[in-house]
Structure 1
């Protein structure tokens, strides 16, 4: 099942960001350290062009530290980008951004005019909490659900920085399909538009392959079940989530799995590696190429048919 969520306010936010971009000196993009690729908005590069960018790998306390290090190196290969792992439990480290921002523009003097920074990020990635930590007070509304921020605002910070806040927005089509699932697992997509069973099954299949010990230890398995549906059944039995007939309540089990992952009860788990993303991107590119060839063939047949007529 392909997952997509692009309500009207996100389209509006994208338009407003495009209009504001030429007036900003610096971009701060907040990513989820557990899914650095999937939480990186593919629309941003075209919008930012050569504007310097700080990418915050937020929720790093929930991610695999070694993979976070590797993702930081990968992101910083692009010119003009600095990646910084952060946790919102360390507000002092977040406030270091007030010194890092001017350092990204060493040839500019911001004593007379403010440094204009634009902060953006996907829903529920921790952008509002980051803003509040930077400001040292409650400025932006926070919540453990996506799409809390619905409008733009400007916030004056220390060091003569003016921060332009924007609503979190996704993009019209989440590709590859796995990207949508990872966003759903981490809470970037409203639960009301999800098929919980599908998302939970995706998470279990990933854990069975990459972190089987996590499932065994968290849910007290004597050994790893042979299939994802058997994992669901075993968790259902151990957590009292069963239906008549001895079958697991798959919706409840999926909720248990997602809540355990989002809260960190499963441990510090990153859902994607640079190698995995490279593989998925190659498959997606091949599919696009195949579809383009089919479309061209269809168009050629139409032209030939029209010429014969």
Structure 2
């Protein structure tokens, strides 16, 4: 599944982020703790350069805590990166962000100077809520759907820290197809940009393998089916998602599954792990190499043309004729 949702204000915001990066002392990137890789904007990573980065794994209360700890260690292996976890049910934890900003930018934490921090994050990751907690007042508009913030603003957090807020920004093309599904499953894109059935099948396939006990308990199943289709059919019967004639309403049960996943009713779930992502990156590299080889083959075939021996012979004769004419012209001039 490909996510086709890149409104004009996102293109503008991404351009402004690139232009402002040179003025920033530290970048704060808010990630969804359930999908740390898939919610990380590769465009931001490309323009960040050596700017220190604080990655906030928000919605920690919805994510698998053991997997989150693994992600933190994985992310902090990158030079200049620190991590913190935050959640809406633990706002006090967000205050540690200010302390960490001052620690990382200690050379700027002097009277008369301001530490300039920029905060970014994909839509619906909880960035606006976090800003309001940091500022200790309502600054950023919040909403339970993507793309609420649509313009940049500067916020004085006090204590010499100035925060540059940016709209939630996706990127034009999600290279990893599994990331597209995870972004949709977590609610990072509007419902109108995804197919519930398609995303629901992806989520069901992952959940019955990674969190079988949670799925059995939530949908009151004595035995967990082996396939996502069978699981969705069994879950639909338990939830009454049945149409006329006793047919299973797959669209309805997929909608129920995704809604409960996003709200945390299924339990604390993380949709990707570092080892999974490394495998997917290898698969993507192999696919890219295959496509590049196929493209080069087509290019060479186009250059050579589909010349039969007869056509090749005629082409050589035309070349010889042009060369002979060129020699005769040179002799006449001399």
> Where on the TM-score scale, by shorter chain, does this alignment land: which range?
over 0.9
Pairing 1:75-224 to 2, within 5 Å after superposition: 75-224=75-224
Cα drift, residue 226 of structure 1: 3.4
Deviates more, 1:174-183 or 1:231-240: 231-240
| Rounded Cα–Cα distance in structure 2 between residues aligned with 1:3 and 1:213 | 31
Distance in 2, Cα, partners of 1:58 & 1:148: 17
Please tell me whether residue 285 in structure 1 is matched to residue 285 in structure 2: yes
Task: Determine the structure 2 residue equivalent to 1:15.
Answer: 15
Distance between the aligned counterparts of 2:52 and 2:265, measured in 1?
36
Q: Secondary structure at the match of 2:120?
A: strand
TM-score (norm 1): 0.96
**2:84 touches 2:97 (CA, 8 Å); kept in 1?**
no
Q: Using structure 2 for the length normalisation, give the TM-score.
A: 0.89
State the distance in 2 between where 1:93 and 1:227 align. Answer: 40
Residue in structure 1 matched with residue 304 of structure 2 by the alignment: 304
RMSD over aligned Cα, in angstroms? 1.4
Secondary structure of 1:167's partner? coil
Residues 142 and 304 of structure 1: CA distance in aligned 2, closer, same or farther (over 3 Å): same
Measure, in 1, the Cα distance between the counterparts of 2:100 and 2:306.
62
CA apart distance, 1:175: 2.1
Given that residues 27 and 51 in structure 1 are in contact (C-alpha distance below 8 angstroms), is that contact kept between their aligned partners in structure 2?
A: yes
Residue 110 of structure 1: how far off its partner (Å): 3.7
Report Cα offsets for 1:206-227 as digits up to 9, x if no partner.
Answer: 0111111111110111211232
Structure 1 segments of 4+ aligned residues over 3 angstroms from their partners: 306-309
Q: How does 1:60-71 map to 2 (within 5 A)?
A: 60-71=60-71
Structure 1 residue 92: deviation in Å? 1.6
Mapped to 1, the partners of 2:45 and 2:237 lie a distance apart of: 47
1:261 is the counterpart of 2:261:
yes
Structure 2: gaps of 5 or more residues? 316-334
Q: CA contact under 8 A between 2:128 and 2:142: conserved in structure 1?
A: yes
Equivalents in 2 of 1:252, 1:65: separation in Å? 30
Structure 2 residue matching 1:242: 3-state secondary structure: coil
Cα-to-partner distance string for 1:115-174 (whole Å, 9 max, x where unaligned): 111000000000000100000011001011111111111111021111000001111111
Confirm or deny: 8 A CA contact 1:31 1:121 kept in the other structure: yes
Give the structure with the larger helix fraction. 2
Offset of 1:10 from its aligned partner? Answer: 1.1
2:322 maps to none
Question: Does residue 241 in structure 1 map to residue 247 in structure 2?
Answer: no
Q: Per-residue deviation at 1:306?
A: 9.7
Structure 1 residue runs of 5 or longer lacking an equivalent are none
How many corresponding residue pairs?
309
Native 8 Å contact 2:108 2:114 kept in 1? no
Task: Give the deviation of 1:107 after TM superposition.
Answer: 2.7
Contact 2:35–2:182 (8 Å) recurs in 1: yes
The CA distance in 2 between the partners of 1:54 and 1:245, in whole Å, is 55
Give the secondary structure class of the aligned counterpart of 1:261: helix
Larger radius of gyration: 2
1:28-68 residue CA offsets vs partner (Å, 9 max, x unmatched): 00000111100111111211100001000111111111111
**Distance in 2 (alpha carbons) for counterparts of 1:249 and 1:193:** 21
In structure 2, the residue corresponding to 1:245 is in which secondary structure? helix
Name the CA distance, whole Å, in 1 between partners of 2:3 and 2:120: 22
